[in-house]
């Protein structure tokens, strides 16, 4: 039962490391909008210019590239936890962030938080919480892979200390161990569906069955690693198959992400429901993601992959 | 060194009136506040934040210009044409025109920061504002960079309805601008100064491009022959004959117009052989802008 008529938002995906083929398949699978959090590129950047160009590419080239496939691209801007540990560079990034956070299509400060939970990570996490508060943007939190439960609780506690309201915080990469604390605190609980680790989509189905749909969000976090840019629609498909009502699926795979990040004032349903009315100068232009002589096609892509292929047990 | 290409004060007053008439009181209040702050010398942060945030406070409506305002724009700065500008773009340009410019380095530093961190909407505003900014000579490389962009709206902002390139780009960059406009299928008649800046090298490049397309069994826009016409020679005449032989009327019209721009005898003779078209050209019924609009109705 493919959710053909449903619309999806993937609120955490690193398209920088994906190809246009992925965009084509995502569009076909019903993804109408995505959010690309600033993150690291697999190896640390060593110069401030690399950050500047990266942020610019999220707002420029990547947004444009997505638009070529009928997908609305938003981003969150921030210094990621791993790279916060290079303090000399982190200082310079903090000076750069104010130039970016109020730009159009920036829906949050993110992804920030803890990785190793070092003192440097703590310092720059806090500074960025202050920035988010100053400009009134939601915060997108990356929770650590190691010592996850403690790290997640600490992230939320520190956010509260800085006067950020829980409804302005999206906590990513939750699992069965963290979800209760996150929801009980009034935060948004996002889940990353990975093919081989973190959350499988069968586990995700169980979580929705147990916790309902309030403030629960599904994402793919797809990047340069083993990951799947179709995780959201595939999970939706599995949920429907397992008897979760379509309206509930819509909440966790679309509406909640919109409500959470829509608090930025930078993301509205009308952006993709009536794209032509939003900014007519943004419509599909010359298509340089394609190669000489190819004609831009939107909405008629053929995918070779079956949605069923990625059901993770 | 040239400091001004347009009177900054007058440009500001003109755009401010347009802005006010096309937006709400709240938006105008917001902008007034920001303009005041940006005028201070130590106001970089205020400028950057206001420049980023403008669309959320002033919207993105296309300005409605009256004929008289269009002419006024052209008097203010020859070729200046904000007829497709939006409210956010206008607000951003007003912010740029309010930056203190007495200190050239300070001014350029702020502009460079904005350019180097700009997203698409901001780039559109920045490139389209070039014909009004002080120190125009310092933006040549920026303009050339704008031509290399892959983003359609950004390219349009620099290439179309913008007099800066014709006035300041060197020949190589100018030729790239024209060729790329053809390449991405945008209208040549909206390039300001196309005729003044056409040159033999450009004519040769465009002819090569046409041959490439023909070899692939494709057509070329009839507008392509506009900058070629003045430089017709024995070699380029072969192209024009081919265009004349095309079954579509608009192609034949373009070939006739190209011939009418030339002093080359064979071109004159060829035009004589098409008296109906020749007559239409002489009466002004047939001209390049007509070809441009007809061949690209969507634009
Ligand atoms: Zn991530």
ipTM for the predicted complex comes to 0.75
CA distance A72 to chain B (A): 14
What residue ranges do the domains of chain B occupy? 1-169, 187-298
Contact state of B151 with A60 under an 8 Å Cβ cutoff: yes
A52, A64, A105 member nearest B150 (Cβ): A64
Q: Which two tokens stand for residue A106?
A: 């920036």
By CA distance, what is A292's nearest residue in B? B183
- Centre a 10 Å sphere on the Cβ of residue A309 and count the other Cβ atoms it contains: 11
Residues of chain A contacting B184 with CB distance shorter than 8 Å: 285-286
A230-281: per-residue pLDDT in tens? 999 999 999 999 999 999 999 999 999 999 999 999 999 999 997 543 333 3
Q: Which two tokens stand for residue B148?
A: 């290399």
Contact state of A286 with B55 under an 8 Å Cβ cutoff: no
User: What's the pLDDT at A304?
Assistant: 40
Residues of chain B contacting A100 with CB distance shorter than 8 Å: 52, 117
User: Measured in angstroms, how far is the CA atom of residue A173 from the centroid of ligand 1?
Assistant: 9
User: Measured in angstroms, how far is the CA atom of residue A296 from the centroid of ligand 1?
Assistant: 29
- Mean pLDDT of all residues in A202-217: 93
**Is the CB of residue A281 less than 8 Å away from at least one CB of chain B?**
yes
* 3-class secondary structure, A291: coil
A6-55: per-residue pLDDT in tens? 999 999 999 999 999 999 999 999 999 999 999 988 888 999 999 999 99
For residue B2, name the pLDDT band (cuts at 50, 70, 90): confident
In chain A, the percentage of residues whose pLDDT exceeds 90 is: 78
Which of B145, B152, B296 has the most A C-beta neighbours within 10 Å, making it the best mutation to test the interface with A?
B152
- Mean pLDDT of all residues in B94-105: 95
For residue A97, name the pLDDT band (cuts at 50, 70, 90): very high
User: What's the pLDDT at A159?
Assistant: 97
Instruction: Give the whole-angstrom CA distance, residue A140 versus residue A143.
Output: 10
- Mean pLDDT of all residues in B282-299: 84
User: Measured in angstroms, how far is the CA atom of residue A80 from the centroid of ligand 1?
Assistant: 9
User: What's the pLDDT at B45?
Assistant: 87
- Name A106's bridge partners: A75
Phi and psi at residue A91, to the nearest 5° = -60, -45
Residue A289 has pLDDT above 60, yes or no: no
Contact state of B49 with A102 under an 8 Å Cβ cutoff: yes
**Is the CB of residue A102 less than 8 Å away from at least one CB of chain B?**
yes
Identify whether the C-beta of residue A157 lies closer than 8 Å to the C-beta of residue A182: no
A188-192 sheet: strands from edge to edge: A8-10, A31-37, A72-77, A106-113, A139-142, A169-171, A188-192, A216-219
**Is the CB of residue A54 less than 8 Å away from at least one CB of chain B?**
no
A102, A104, A286 member nearest B185 (Cβ): A286
Residues of chain B contacting A104 with CB distance shorter than 8 Å: 52, 55-56, 119, 121
B270 or A196, which is more confident: B270
Residues of chain A contacting B146 with CB distance shorter than 8 Å: none
User: What's the pLDDT at A199?
Assistant: 63
Nearest to A98 by CA among B257, B53, B267, B65: B53
Residues of chain A contacting B47 with CB distance shorter than 8 Å: none
> What residue ranges in chain A does DSSP mark as E strands?
8-10, 31-37, 72-77, 106-113, 139-142, 169-171, 188-192, 216-219
- The secondary structure of B41-94, three-state, reads CCCHHHHHHHHHHHHHHHCCCECCCCHHHHHHHHHHCCCCCCCCCEHHHHHHHH
């Amino acid at each position: 039962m493919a959710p053909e008529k449903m619309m999806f938002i993937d609120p955490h995906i690193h398209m920088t490391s994906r190809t246009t083929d992925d965009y084509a398949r995502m569009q076909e699978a019903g993804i109408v909008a995505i959010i690309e959090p600033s993150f690291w590129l697999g190896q640390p950047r060593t110069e401030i210019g690399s950050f500047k160009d990266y942020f610019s590419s999220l707002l420029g080239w990547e947004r444009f590239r997505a638009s070529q496939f009928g997908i609305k691209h938003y981003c969150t801007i921030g210094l990621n936890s791993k790279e916060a540990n290079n303090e000399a560079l982190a200082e310079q990034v903090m000076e750069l962030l104010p130039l970016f956070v109020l730009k159009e299509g920036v829906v949050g400060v993110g992804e920030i938080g803890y990785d190793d939970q070092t003192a440097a990570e703590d310092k720059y996490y806090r500074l960025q919480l202050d920035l988010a508060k100053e400009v009134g943007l939601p915060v997108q939190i990356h929770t650590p892979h190691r010592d996850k439960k403690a790290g997640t609780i600490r992230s939320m506690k520190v956010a509260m200390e800085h006067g950020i309201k829980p409804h302005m915080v999206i906590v990513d990469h939750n699992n069965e161990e963290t979800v209760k604390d996150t929801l009980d605190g009034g935060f948004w609980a996002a889940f990353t569906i990975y093919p081989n680790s973190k959350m499988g989509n069968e586990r995700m189905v169980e979580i929705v069955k147990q916790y309902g749909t309030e403030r629960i969000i599904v994402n793919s976090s797809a990047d340069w690693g083993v990951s799947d840019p179709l995780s959201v629609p595939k999970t939706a498909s599995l949920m429907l198959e397992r008897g979760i009502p379509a309206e509930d699926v819509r909440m966790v795979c679309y509406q909640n992400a919109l409500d959470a990040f829509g608090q930025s004032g930078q993301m509205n349903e009308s952006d993709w429901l009536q794209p032509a009315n939003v900014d007519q100068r943004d419509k599909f232009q010359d298509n340089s993601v394609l190669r000489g002589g190819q004609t831009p096609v939107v909405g008629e892509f053929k995918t070779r992959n079956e949605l069923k292929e990625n059901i993770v047990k | 060194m040239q400091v001004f290409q347009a009177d900054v004060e007058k440009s500001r007053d003109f755009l401010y009136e347009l802005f006010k008439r096309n937006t709400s009181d709240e938006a105008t209040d917001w902008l007034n506040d920001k303009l005041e702050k940006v005028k201070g010398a130590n106001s970089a942060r205020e400028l950057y934040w206001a420049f980023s945030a403008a669309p959320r406070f002033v919207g993105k409506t296309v300005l409605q210009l009256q004929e008289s305002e269009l002419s006024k724009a052209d008097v203010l700065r020859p070729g200046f044409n904000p007829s497709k500008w939006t409210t956010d773009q206008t607000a951003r340009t007003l912010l740029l025109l309010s930056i203190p410019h007495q200190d050239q380095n300070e001014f350029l530093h702020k502009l460079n920061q904005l350019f180097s961190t700009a997203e698409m909407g901001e780039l559109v505003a920045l490139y389209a504002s070039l014909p009004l900014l002080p120190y125009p000579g310092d933006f040549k490389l920026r303009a050339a960079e704008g031509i290399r962009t892959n983003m359609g709206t950004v390219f349009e902002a620099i290439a179309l309805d913008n007099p800066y390139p014709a006035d300041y780009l060197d020949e190589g960059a100018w030729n790239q601008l024209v060729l790329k406009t053809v390449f991405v299928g945008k209208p040549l008649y909206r390039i300001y100064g196309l005729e003044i800046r056409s040159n033999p090298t450009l004519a040769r490049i465009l002819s090569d491009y046409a041959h490439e397309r023909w070899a692939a069994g494709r057509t070329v826009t009839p507008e392509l022959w506009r900058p070629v016409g003045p430089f017709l020679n024995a070699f380029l005449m072969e192209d024009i004959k081919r265009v004349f032989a095309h079954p579509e009327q608009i192609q034949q019209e373009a070939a006739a117009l190209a011939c009418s721009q030339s002093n080359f005898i064979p071109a004159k003779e060829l035009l004589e052989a098409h008296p109906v078209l020749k007559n239409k050209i002489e009466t002004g019924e047939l001209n390049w802008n007509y070809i441009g609009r007809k061949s690209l109705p969507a634009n």
